[in-house]
Structure formats: C-alpha cells, structure tokens
Structure 1
Amino acid sequence: MSTPPSTHPTGPLNLLRPLLLISYSAFYAIPTIINLLITFNLNPFFSFEAFKDEWFARFWAFFGPKSRENAEPKVMPLLQNNARGVCLDIGPGSGQWLYMFAKAKNPDITKIYGVEPNFALHGALRENAEKAGLGGVYEVIGCGAEELSTKGGVQPGTIDTIVTVQCLCSIPTPQKIIKELYPLLKPGGRWLVYEHVKTKYQGDFVDYWQKIIDYVWPHFFNGCNVTRPSDEWLLQAGEWEEVNLRPGDGEGPYDTLPHIIGTLTKKQFEPLQQ
C-alpha cells in the first residue's frame, strides 16, 4: 500500500508512516458497520473474514485512488507496453491499474485473467475493466492464485505475462504460490512485479520496527504482510533468462514499507540437439 503524496514524511519520520496508514484503515470500520446495519446486510457480522472483506473494500474505494496516484510514476513504466499476449493479473483488487492495460497503450494484449478472491471487489473490478475498454478482454476469476490450475482452468505454459502489483504481500503461502505460478508462464514469458519486500537493512532499527509493525498491519490491510522476501522467492522460483529488479526509488533505511520493481523473463527452452 502507498501513502498519498501530501502525507509522505521523509527521514526518520518515515518510520511513522505505517501508523498513519493503519489509522486510515481503522476509521473505515465505523462506516462499514453503519452501512451494513442500514442495508440490513447482517451476514458479515457472523463471519469476521466476511466483515474484513467488506471493511477493506470500503476503505480501498477511498484509499486506492490515492495509493495509485503516489505509485503511478513507478508502476506506469513497468506495465505500459510491457504486458503482452495472454496476461495473468494477480490480486487486481478493484482494478485501479486496469487503465494501463488499455489497447491504446498495450496493443499486443489478447486476453487478461484477473485473479481476485475477494468477491466484494468484483463489481468494481468489472466496472473498471469496462471503463478501460477491456470488456471483451478482461475476465475475472474468483479464486485464489493457488487454485488457478484446479478452479481457474489456467494450464501450464499458456501465459505470456504475469503481473503482480502489491499483491504478493497478501496472498496465502506466497512462496508456494510463486513456484506454482512460474510453470504457467510460457518460455520467454515475463513476470512484471511491484511489491512490498523485507527490508535490506537487516540489523538496523528499521528491521526490528518492520517486524513489530507486521504483527498489526495484516489485520488492517486485508492480510497484507510487510516482511516477506518476495524478491528472493521470485528468483528461486525457476530459471530466468533475464532479471531486471531494483529497489523502489528513494527508499532507504527509514522505510518500513520498501518495494522491489522490475521484470523477470523466463528462460527459453534449450534447442534440441541434432
């Protein structure tokens, strides 16, 4: 998750950034409860997981556009003109990045599967797909990334581009899922990534602070974890022909929510010996 530009502190004050974001999320529990009562939608009160889905969907409707505004300068060069063929969009949420997949910006895209297990976000996701002119291209799959082969019908070696933007921090068993997603890529296929990662400043204060924050953060951000070494897991997923990964711009020893951004290209099959 990214902070709106106007509330992004610098230097040591940046250590307080996660507390600010948590306060934003906590506030939205109140209107969620009120709305559920007014609409007589009482079912989420009997399941904390269902309530958290409603809570996060309402919070993200407010915060998502602001997060996108802050991250757009970093994500746009990654997505625009890099996605091609059949794409797998993992954890798209409400579809805040779909406008970057529009045909005018990515004419080589033929199909996009949006893998989003939170059904409360499907309405907004389909609406944003239509707004981006992807109505006949974008298909929502309502299952977890770990269920793509069994419930999603996606077969190995059929995907040209995998896109993970701020989602590997939230999916369950991420290391296992990354290894399961790798075979879905065609040889020469590309994985586009912009993700939270474990801080590289091990042993510094931010290392311990990040671990403390991670005890609380997932409860306010729909299961998001901020201490996952997703970049390392990606590198270990299989054989890569080319790796272009770099840290987030300007991030350093006071960032509790550091990122990794870039592409990984799957190794081509070795030619058969005559």
Structure 2
Amino acid sequence: MSSQSAPAPTTEEKGPINLLRPLLLMYYSLSYLPITIFHLLLSFQFSTFLSIDEFKDVWFARFWAFFGPMARDVSAPAVMPLLQKNARGVCLDIGPGSGQWLYLFQRANNPEITKIYGIEPNPGMHKALRENAVKAGLSDKYEIIGCGAEELQTKGGLDKESIDTIITVQCLCSIPTPEIIIKELYPMLKPGGQWLVYEHIKTKYQSDFVGYWQSGINVIWPHLFGGCSITRPTDEWLLQAGEWEEVKLRPVEGQGKYDTVPHVVGTLTKKRK
C-alpha cells in the first residue's frame, strides 16, 4: 500500500447543495443501528444493551468498518502529504480508530519512526487496529494503549517531553474536554517536536446560514459518529496550547462557506528551549 499516491486536491469550492452532505452521512450511520442490534441479539451479547456508551461504541465500530475506508479516500488528498515523511522518533497517534492511516507510517514513508503509541479508548477498534499495524509492517513498533488521551500520564505511563511527533487525525473532535487535553498533550512534546493536525473545526462563516446549520446538525451528529463534535474551535485551542516556533495550519483546499464539516490541516512545531 505504500505505493499509493494522494489524489489531486480539489480547489474549487462546492455550492449550496453541499449543505445536505451531513444528512447523507448521518443516514449511513443510522443504517447500521438495526444491524448492530441484530448482531448483538444473535451473539447473545445482551449486557451491551445495559450501557448506552458501550452500545454506541459497538455500533460505531461496526459502522466505521464500512465507512472508514470511504472517509479515508475523501480525506487522502490532505492527509497523505501531511503524514508521509513527517513523523519521526517516538510518535503519539491519538485516536487512530481502526488504523486506516497506518500504511503511511511504513518504513518507506517514514523511515525515522522508532516507536508509535496508538491511543485508542474504544476496544471495539483494537482488533482491526492490530491487524492494520501488522499489514503496515509495524508490529514491532506499534503499541496500543487502551485509554483516553486524558489518561496518558496516569494509565499510559508516558512522561513529559518524551514524544517527538503527535498525530491527531479527526480525533480531537470526539475526545472529552478537548481544550484541556490539548494543553495536557503539549508538555509531552519535546522542544522542537511536531504536532501533525487534520481536524474538524467550527466554521469560520458564523454569520452565514452554515453557522446555524452546523450548530443544528451537531445536536444529532455526535450520537451517530462516536461522540464527534463538528463545532469545536480546535485550531484556536491548538494555537493557545503553548509556545510554538512555527505554525503551518491552513483550511483544506476546496472547503468553504458551504461546508458543514470543514477541516484544518498542517503542522505546529514546539518552541525550542
């Protein structure tokens, strides 16, 4: 898979019809609700129904097994140039899910990687994550830590200034207390270390219809997409996390005022002492 190349980015912004895209994505997720219920009943996993959070995790894991590859293809023009050859040393891969981007961390793409900690709190994703790590030839470098990003120092056993590269690809939208966690992750980065970012952000067109539309969609969206919120000003929180030597964040090409789920992509380099 290392021979894949990123599709050419689309620079032309889509029209108002693009406002309907979130409705289609939510329909895809909802279509996996009866499938998940049937599977749990058939396998006698009745206890899962006793916890809403556990049920949602199982539901999202099943849905994402189908939708994840599609989402990867759409995001590839922005994510592939970001991740290829930019990760180095000890890496912190926050919320990797099923590991759909792990092939970009193969030695041919990132020869300077020595270790990757995959921080994935959803156990329903671990099996696919391990399989994708093996497929990418990372079985000796990739270690799954089954806790949330907010527990890295207490349960993960990771120290401050021990990480060369932090990787967040569409995960800061779904972790709890993201503003606090971003500030907690910053000290773990070594001086001169890089933070690679591809994240949902709050639309910059708050005074336009899309601002109200995004807020309305976000009432339902998190329940269908593993807790993902599309109205977080994640780019602003990253800038405020600490002192940066260099910031290269930009909107994703082709996204504009009709995008309900806009993204920011780029890198932040921590200030050296």
Per the shorter chain, which TM-score range? over 0.9
Q: Tell me the equivalent position of 2:158.
A: 154
Relative to the length of structure 2, the TM-score reads: 0.95
Q: Any idea what SS the aligned residue of 1:151 has? A: coil
Q: Tell me the equivalent position of 2:112.
A: 108
Q: Tell me the equivalent position of 2:29.
A: 25
The answer to whether 1:48 aligns with 2:57 is: no
Distance 1:208 1:265 in 2: 34
Q: Tell me the equivalent position of 1:3.
A: none
Q: Aligned ranges for residues 161-240 of structure 1 at < 5 Å?
A: 161-240=165-244
For residue 202 of structure 1, report the CA deviation from its aligned partner: 1.8
Of the three residues 137, 146, 155, the one matched with 1:142 is 146
For residues 50-79 of structure 1, give each alpha carbon's deviation from its aligned partner in whole angstroms, at most 9, with x where no partner exists.
Answer: 110110000000000011011111100000
Of the three residues 247, 250, 255, the one matched with 2:251 is 247
Q: Tell me the equivalent position of 2:6.
A: none
% of aligned pairs identical?
69
Of the three residues 103, 107, 116, the one matched with 1:99 is 103
For residue 41 of structure 1, report the CA deviation from its aligned partner: 1.3
Counterpart residue type for residue 192 of structure 1: L
The number of residues matched between the two structures is 261
After the TM superposition, list the runs of 4 or more consecutive aligned residues in structure 1 that deviate by more than 3 angstroms: none
Q: Tell me the equivalent position of 1:86.
A: 90
Distance 2:116 2:73 in 1: 23
Counterpart residue type for residue 70 of structure 2: K
Of the three residues 65, 72, 79, the one matched with 2:69 is 65
Distance 2:88 2:44 in 1: 44
Distance 1:102 1:30 in 2: 37
Distance 1:119 1:202 in 2: 36
Q: Any idea what SS the aligned residue of 2:128 has? A: helix
Q: Any idea what SS the aligned residue of 1:23 has? A: helix
Q: Any idea what SS the aligned residue of 1:177 has? A: helix
Distance 2:222 2:162 in 1: 33
Q: Any idea what SS the aligned residue of 1:244 has? A: strand
Counterpart residue type for residue 62 of structure 2: R
- Taking CA–CA contacts closer than 8 Å with sequence separation of 6 or more, which of the two structures ends up with the larger relative contact order? 2
Q: Any idea what SS the aligned residue of 2:249 has? A: strand
Counterpart residue type for residue 216 of structure 1: I
Q: Which runs of 5+ in 2 are unaligned?
A: 1-12
For residues 63-106 of structure 1, give each alpha carbon's deviation from its aligned partner in whole angstroms, at most 9, with x where no partner exists.
Answer: 00011011111100000000000000000000000000011110
Distance 2:143 2:39 in 1: 29
Distance 1:102 1:123 in 2: 19
For residue 223 of structure 1, report the CA deviation from its aligned partner: 0.5
For residues 196-249 of structure 1, give each alpha carbon's deviation from its aligned partner in whole angstroms, at most 9, with x where no partner exists.
Answer: 000011211001111111111001001000000000000000000000000011
Of the three residues 254, 261, 267, the one matched with 1:257 is 261
Q: Tell me the equivalent position of 1:123.
A: 127
Counterpart residue type for residue 87 of structure 1: C
Distance 1:152 1:96 in 2: 22
For residue 38 of structure 1, report the CA deviation from its aligned partner: 1.0
Q: Tell me the equivalent position of 1:4.
A: none
For residue 10 of structure 1, report the CA deviation from its aligned partner: 3.2
Counterpart residue type for residue 249 of structure 1: E
